[in-house]
Structure 1
């Protein structure tokens, strides 16, 4: 394997890329810094020029994941305009698309045990992603009288949880689990049922 990054001034990113491959293959606790260094083509000592330890390296992978995730969510939201419903549903589908396309980032973000409050930068990136979904939820609820309107933060959190559940159970090849329906169909129908129950979508839609 060629040495990635050290002789080209990009060792930090080379180590993140190596960690993402190892996270996907072995899980967030299944590799060592020495393995990440070897994967990147550098000595273990070189890692400590950029990261204090494995958790610091995983946190950087999570940060980059949240930045990609936020951009993807925002693009989905914008592409669904001007329909508030289309924009909201698009952000749910974007969750599935992200988990499929960026499994290493997804695991670092949601399965590594790294707190989003580990650094201000990580917290800001995570909150930005949540903010996109909450904005889409707020747009969708505008036609409901204010005194009957559910908090956007509440039902956006419910949709986030639903999306996460579909990903974990059916979109990431969970051992022993299979669904007769595509994950996208499961999520779309679940969102539809939920939104109708809240009165956010007309019953005949």
Structure 2
């Protein structure tokens, strides 16, 4: 693969972009800092002006991924207004869209073993993303009697886990290889079952 090169003053981002390509093709532990430097078209020594090690480079890729993810989630949430249900379902679909469009970021965020608390900026970006789904859950759960209402954080965590499971099992790799249904249909029906159980969707809808 030819060297990517970089504009003066943008070496840090060139290294992140190189790492994302390597993460996508080899996984988060399948490359070295020297290989990331080579991919970016710079010397290995140049990397250490910006990152102390591979984990720091991956953490920055994850942080940028969470920023993109949060933007997508916020857009999805806003696009569903004024219906709390539509906003909630839209955030689930945004999860699938993100995993498909940004596989390198997705792996850096969820499969690299990098803690979201590794840096303050990473934790902040991750928190912004989860806050969108929790806000959608809070608004939707207002229709549940208080004594039967699950905590919004638990509510949103259930949907996050369901979305993540659909991505991992059915949305990655060869399309249709594991299920005769689309990931979108699987997630929509799963959310529907969950919401019916909470009494938020009529049984005959």
The answer for the alignment partner of 1:107 in structure 2 is 107
Matched, 1:159 2:152: no
User: Any idea what SS the aligned residue of 1:8 has?
Assistant: coil
Structure 1 length as normaliser, TM-score? 0.96
Q: How many residues align?
A: 204
Displacement, 1:154? 0.8
Q: Structure 2: where are the runs of 5+ without partners?
A: none
Displacement, 1:176? 11
Matched, 1:59 2:59: yes
1:67-89, Cα deviation, whole Å (9 max, x unpaired): 00000000000000011111000
User: Any idea what SS the aligned residue of 1:180 has?
Assistant: coil
User: Any idea what SS the aligned residue of 2:197 has?
Assistant: helix
Q: Structure 1: where are the runs of 5+ without partners?
A: none
Q: For the residues of structure 2 that align with 1:175 and 1:188, how far apart are their CA atoms?
A: 17
The answer for the alignment partner of 1:45 in structure 2 is 45
Displacement, 1:199? 1.5
Q: Which moved more, 1:137-146 or 1:126-135?
A: 137-146
Cα gap change, 1:102/1:139 in structure 2, threshold over 3 Å: closer, same or farther? Answer: same
The answer for the alignment partner of 1:96 in structure 2 is 96
Q: For the residues of structure 2 that align with 1:130 and 1:171, how far apart are their CA atoms?
A: 21
Matched, 1:178 2:183: no
Q: Which moved more, 1:148-157 or 1:180-189?
A: 148-157
Contact (CA 8 Å) 1:169, 1:177: kept in 2 or not? no
Structure 2 length as normaliser, TM-score? 0.96
Displacement, 1:202? 2.1
Matches within 5 A, 1:1-205: 1-5=2-6, 7-173=7-173, 178-205=178-205
Contact (CA 8 Å) 1:28, 1:107: kept in 2 or not? yes
1:46-78, Cα deviation, whole Å (9 max, x unpaired): 000000000000000000000000000000000
